[in-house]
Chains A and B, each alone.
Chain A
Amino acid sequence: MADGPPSRDGLRLWAMVAAHAADRGGRVSVADACAVAASAARVSGAGLTMMTRTDSGRVVCVTDDVSARVEELQVTLGEGPCVDAYASRAPVLTSDLRGQQALRRWPAFAPAAKEAGAAAVFAFPLQMGAVRLGVMDLYHREPRSLGSGELRDALVLADTATMLLLGGETGSDDFLGDASSGLLSEREGYRAEIDQAMGMVSVQLGVNVDVAFLRLRAYAYAEDRSLTDVCRDVVARRLRFAADSDAEARGDDGRAPGVGE
């Protein structure tokens, strides 16, 4: 391996996020993920904007004045790496906003961001399959590109921010804080079952998959079970969510379960 045992990377970064929150004296939030992303990727700052397909975006956190301006410009102008990353569902890495390419692509944003003090912008979509929440932007004062380790760290932290945003809307934050790293690692093993259960529950409840995810998490929390366990029950058709109540346990309906036979 070129860069050592990589499975430690996630844990190292999650520990940094938790430490950052502890220093602040608060619960782990996307602001911590942003701050750690900026320092891990060794850039000047970071910001996060939540977006939907219809509205232009809402700035959730920024690490300094320049990143505040970078986020605000994209929301106001409706163009920039952040907007493109959201639309294309892929990271948009711009090492030099002064280049012709950047100017052609973002005629309003590129000069304005440069004026504000950002010479390079790296935008990472916050997504989980069909769920799209927004974008995390890193900026740097000087033109530069990200090294592969820095890029990897930024991607891990964008995933972390995604999980925090998804969890943060359940209204009960008890299981966020310290548990967030647990949730993240839990997703690694049987994560396909979580994704499949999101799809199934979205049909059962007639809601979007992100709402289905929140219901699954809320149920797991209320029942004091792991999210993975609950999702495996859904996939095996041992558990069904009904639109009028939280969930109802249901026996085998005589049909072979989707997995495990």
Chain B
Amino acid sequence: MDSERLSTTFVELADTLVADFDVLDFLHLLATRCTQLLDVSAAGVLLADPAGHLRVMAASSEQVRLLELFQLQNDQGPCLDCYHTGRPVHVTDLAAVEARWPRFTTQAREHGYGAVMALPMRLRDDVIGAMNLFSSAPGLDDADIQVAQALADVATIGILQHRAQHQSDTVVTQLQTALNSRVLIEQAKGVVAERLRMTMDEAFTALRAHARGNHRHLSELAQAVVTGTEDVTALSERLPRRGSSD
């Protein structure tokens, strides 16, 4: 692992936490950085809603988001086990655990993944969610796992920090607000995808690039897009090429 890049990332994440920030944008940045720092091809961050169901909050790609949803839909997979037990779940070879999660392993392997690491996002005694890292077998080594858990902890800190800034009464209400922002962003992706004839991934990239380029919060921009107060065509102007760093 590139230690300089690692420290740069932690500085970058810490900087974000100091300023007023958008929690979903932050979680997305974290998921993206995971794929760049660690030997993983995809990352997802899931949080529990008040009813106790996990929801995908950020994913490094639409493909991994769908894979996460697939776990939730079928109520099986390392992510759910990690969330329910509060312990990391490390699968070094998906082919070897077919009996445990038959549907999940089939899907994950079809997408080209051979290993999965699920890390709990812990807040004192509570587990508020989980971070998942998908890679080729045999997955992460011990040093990578330590960094990954540190990143999962940073994600938790980000949520707490956001709550402190916004004087939200509790973690539960803060999470609920973040979950609603997630819904809002999906609605905005739909609007942008339809209007600009983009894929969902492209629509998200466009939304995010526009928010960053104009120093606006992603959720606030999404709100304006969905309620029709934003000129959506302006979003096509600042589009980076696909596959750029974030």
Chain A interfacial positions (CB closer than 8 Å to B) = 1-2, 5-10, 13, 89-91, 93, 127-130, 148, 151-153, 155-156, 159, 188-192, 195-204, 208-209, 235, 255-260
Interface size class of B (residues with CB under 8 A): 35 or more
0 or 1 for each of B225-241: is its CB under 8 Å from A? (1 = yes): 01110000000000000
Q: Which of B51, B56, B191, B201 makes the CB contact (< 8 A) with A6?
A: B51
Q: Which of A6, A93, A258 makes the CB contact (< 8 A) with B200?
A: A258
Give the CA-CA distance A243 to B51 in the complex, in Å: 36
Chain B interfacial positions (CB closer than 8 Å to A) = 48, 50-53, 55-56, 62, 65-66, 69, 72-73, 84, 86, 125-127, 166, 168-170, 172-173, 176-177, 180, 183-195, 197-201, 203, 222-223, 226-228
Given pairs A89-B177, A192-B186, A203-B194, 8 additional interface contacts (CB within 8 A):
A1-B86, A90-B177, A155-B176, A156-B50, A199-B186, A209-B187, A258-B62, A259-B66
Given A7-B51, A93-B173, also A259-B189 (CB < 8 A): no
- When A and B form their complex, which 9 residue pairs have the shortest distance between CB atoms, in order from nearest? A199-B190, A6-B52, A10-B51, A195-B186, A130-B226, A129-B183, A155-B50, A189-B73, A196-B190
B189 and A260 within 8 A (CB): no
Q: Which of A2, A129, A208 makes the CB contact (< 8 A) with B180?
A: A129
Give the CA-CA distance A91 to B180 in the complex, in Å: 12
B190 and A148 within 8 A (CB): no
Q: Which of B51, B177, B200 makes the CB contact (< 8 A) with A196?
A: B200
Chain B residue, CB-CB nearest to A13: B51
Number of A-B contacts (CB under 8 A): 144
Chain B residue, CB-CB nearest to A189: B73
A202 surroundings in chain B (CB, below 8 A): 187, 190-191, 226
Give the CA-CA distance A198 to B226 in the complex, in Å: 10
B195 and A1 within 8 A (CB): no
A1 and B84 within 8 A (CB): yes
